[in-house]
Amino acid sequence: MILSVVVTNLGKISHTWLVQSSSHPILDQVVVDVVQSIAPISFKHHSNTPTKTIYVPMTFKMR
């Protein structure tokens, strides 16, 4: 799956969406919830742009 995350320059997550689903809605929702729970996100290098978009790739192995 690939999750897109828009982060403001204050580290708040303003928007998330699935770019590519894992094909398992429960797993998709868990990843969205976990990523949203880690805010605020700090960046090592600050920029003048109001937001940054981060793409988070995830791989799951079912056992």
How many angstroms separate the CA atoms of 10 and 37, rounded?
15
CB-CB contact of 2 with 55 (8 Å): yes
Predicted pLDDT of residue 49? 82
> Could you read off the pLDDT tens digit of each residue along the chain, which spans 63 residues?
999 999 998 889 999 999 999 999 999 999 999 999 998 888 777 777 888 999 999 988 878
Which pLDDT belongs to residue 43?
76
Q: Give this prediction's pTM.
A: 0.79
Rg value, the chain, Cα: 13
pLDDT at 48: 78
